[in-house]
């Protein structure tokens, strides 16, 4: 005879459970408790898997220190595996700290393609926007946990990674280009929603705007100056955040806000030296009175201020030339006096000896090897000569001279002395000086310019570097024909 079985109940009263008796679960008192006169009560216990926490897989990982706690931008945290495993994208380098392949593998909500792009960002893309190991570590530890919380920032990270994945030659697939464009558009849409929301603007919004800037600059998407649109958004966000001045002088090298301020300043400097200048003509006040070489954008604070002033004066020169019929000669005289003052400032910097005082930020002074310091000093000198050329050409609006030719040749010499690397070096910052030198290069120096810009592209593999050389080729051809007088004639086309 087959035994009749019923559905086992786990929701009986506490008395029946203790006696392992069947309960009819009548409430407030079951039938069995009524017949025995026992006190009837019901309670519920939650079960998390059937084994003690210390004996669970995650508990064992915690005991053996196989996971680490990574704090995010809002004060919460995530757990990530710490067992190191080298990335398939790089045979030479692994990811920084706890942000390794196992960490990427914990992102179960991401598609395999997105996880692959994130790993490529950690191993490759982040290295070509970082001039030093310390910057790289801080960049990854700031951006990735923050991106875990804000999808629009994650889309910007993946879009930048996708652009570099394509420009580096790792892929020429139309599908990859389409995916990158979709990620970019998704990030822009999320950024707009976040900025227009009633909630306070976060640093993730600023980080997203700057990564979109970098993505468009590196990929050469400049037909509509889209990167400038993103930078204008970053300006508005910076004003909204309202952080205090002199943040670049903070001695906390791992400060996420200091990193974001460095990124913002580097893009702001690029904008200030373009033909269009800074949007609204206004610059941030993120630097104090200290003078040191910043490890992110590779030049001294004093030179940074001077380059801003040169950009503003160049914009004023264009305005004066445009409105010449309505202005007096005094406007030109005032501008030329400013040019003389700026040149004197730059030449005073060039006469300054690095041995006279500490030339690097206190948080980096002991982290830089003598060779790394030398690379930074060379980069800083290259930008000093870039400043002299801009003063002569863009403010004074004079033809080439012996001094300017000497500055151009010195920039080429400096680039020749620097070690070409694929990342984590001031070599990454040499595009602007080389382009400036190329615009003033003699016929005999043009081949050197081609070679150095080609080497820069071959090591860093950013599409925009090819565009810079193409612009120089156009300028050289037209200047030889007598059609243009300076590089701004080409850039303003």
Question: What average pLDDT does range 127-134 have in this prediction?
Answer: 91
CA atoms in the 13 A half-sphere facing the CB of 493: 11
Structure tokens at 83: 């067992």
Predicted pLDDT of residue 220: 67
Predicted pLDDT of residue 197: 75
Residue 58 banded pLDDT, cuts 50, 70, 90: low
> Residue 261 CB: number of other CB atoms within 10 A?
23
Nearest Cα residue to 382 out of 411, 425, 354: 411
Predicted pLDDT of residue 254: 52
In the chain, what is the straight-line distance between the N-terminal and C-terminal CA atoms, in Å? 96
The percentage of the chain sitting over the pLDDT mark of 70, rounded to a whole number, equals 75
Predicted pLDDT of residue 64: 58
In tens, the pLDDT along 397-443 reads: 888 788 999 999 999 999 999 999 988 999 999 999 999 999 999 99
H helix runs in 328-462, sequence order: 329-351, 362-365, 370-390, 402-417, 431-440, 443-460
Residue 93 banded pLDDT, cuts 50, 70, 90: very low
* DSSP letter string, 103-144: HHHT-TTS-HHHHHHHHHHHHTGGGGG-SSHHHHHHHHHHHH
* CATH number for region 1-45: 4.10.240.10
R_g of the chain, CA atoms, integer Å: 30
Mean pLDDT estimate for the chain: 80
Predicted pLDDT of residue 249: 60
Predicted pLDDT of residue 95: 43
Nearest Cα residue to 286 out of 234, 326, 335: 234
- CA 142 from centroid of its chain's CA atoms: 10
Residue 358 banded pLDDT, cuts 50, 70, 90: low
In tens, the pLDDT along 138-189 reads: 898 889 889 988 999 999 999 999 989 888 776 656 668 889 999 999 999 9
H helix runs in 150-173, sequence order: 151-167
Residue 274 banded pLDDT, cuts 50, 70, 90: confident
Residue 62 banded pLDDT, cuts 50, 70, 90: low
Domain segments of the chain as ranges = 1-45, 53-225
Structure tokens at 302: 């004093």
Predicted pLDDT of residue 63: 61
Structure tokens at 160: 């930048």
CA–CA gap between residue 251 and residue 254 (Å, rounded): 9
In tens, the pLDDT along 6-46 reads: 445 567 888 888 888 888 888 888 999 988 888 888 775 54
* DSSP letter string, 356-370: GS--B-HHHHTTS-H
CA–CA gap between residue 259 and residue 294 (Å, rounded): 11
Residue 384 has pLDDT above 90, yes or no: yes
Q: What is the DSSP letter of 395?
A: I
In tens, the pLDDT along 302-325 reads: 999 999 999 999 988 888 888 766
């Amino acid at each position: 005879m087959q035994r009749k079985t019923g559905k086992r109940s786990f929701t009986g009263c506490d008395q029946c459970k203790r006696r392992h008796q069947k309960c009819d679960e009548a409430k407030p008192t079951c039938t069995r408790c009524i017949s025995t006169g026992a006190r009837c009560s019901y309670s519920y216990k939650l079960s998390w898997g059937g084994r003690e926490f210390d004996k669970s897989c995650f508990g064992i990982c915690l005991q053996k220190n196989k996971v680490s706690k990574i704090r995010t931008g809002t004060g919460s945290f995530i757990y990530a595996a710490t067992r190191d495993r080298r990335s398939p994208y790089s045979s030479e380098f692994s990811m920084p700290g706890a942000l390794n392949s196992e960490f990427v593998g914990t992102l179960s909500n991401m598609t395999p393609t997105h996880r692959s792009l994130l790993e490529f960002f950690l191993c490759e893309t982040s290295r070509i926007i970082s001039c030093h190991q310390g910057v790289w570590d801080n960049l990854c530890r700031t951006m990735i946990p923050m991106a875990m919380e804000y999808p629009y920032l994650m889309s910007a990270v993946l879009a930048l990674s996708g652009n570099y994945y394509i420009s580096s030659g790792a892929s020429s697939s139309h599908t990859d280009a389409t995916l990158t464009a979709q990620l970019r558009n998704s990030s822009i849409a999320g950024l707009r929603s976040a900025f227009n929301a009633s909630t306070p603007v976060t640093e993730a919004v600023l980080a997203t705007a700057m990564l979109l800037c970098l993505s468009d600059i590196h990929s050469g998407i400049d037909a509509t100056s889209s990167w400038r649109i993103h930078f204008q958004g970053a300006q508005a966000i910076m004003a909204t955040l309202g952080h205090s001045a002199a943040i670049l002088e903070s001695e906390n090298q791992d400060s996420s806000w200091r990193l974001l301020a460095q990124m913002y300043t580097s893009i702001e400097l690029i904008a200030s030296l373009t033909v269009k200048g800074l949007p609204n003509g206004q610059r941030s006040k993120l630097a104090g009175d200290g003078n040191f070489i910043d490890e992110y954008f590779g030049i001294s604070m004093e030179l940074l201020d001077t380059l801003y002033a040169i950009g503003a004066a160049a914009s004023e020169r264009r305005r004066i030339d445009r409105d010449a019929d309505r202005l007096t000669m005094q406007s030109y005289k005032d501008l030329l006096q400013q040019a003389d003052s700026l040149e004197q400032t730059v030449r005073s910097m060039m006469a300054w000896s690095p041995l006279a005082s500490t030339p690097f930020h206190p948080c980096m002074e002991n982290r830089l090897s003598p060779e790394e310091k030398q690379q930074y000093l060379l980069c800083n000198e290259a930008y000093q000569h870039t400043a002299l050329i801009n003063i002569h050409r863009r403010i004074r609006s004079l033809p080439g001279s012996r001094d300017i030719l000497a500055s151009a040749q010195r920039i080429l010499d400096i680039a020749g002395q620097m070690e070409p690397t694929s990342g984590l070096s001031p070599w990454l910052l040499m595009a602007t000086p080389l382009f400036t030198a190329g615009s003033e290069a003699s016929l005999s120096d043009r081949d050197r310019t081609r070679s150095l810009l080609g080497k820069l592209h071959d090591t860093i593999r950013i599409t925009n570097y090819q565009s810079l050389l193409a612009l120089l080729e156009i300028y050289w051809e037209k200047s030889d024909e007598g059609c243009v007088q300076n590089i701004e004639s080409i850039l303003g086309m």
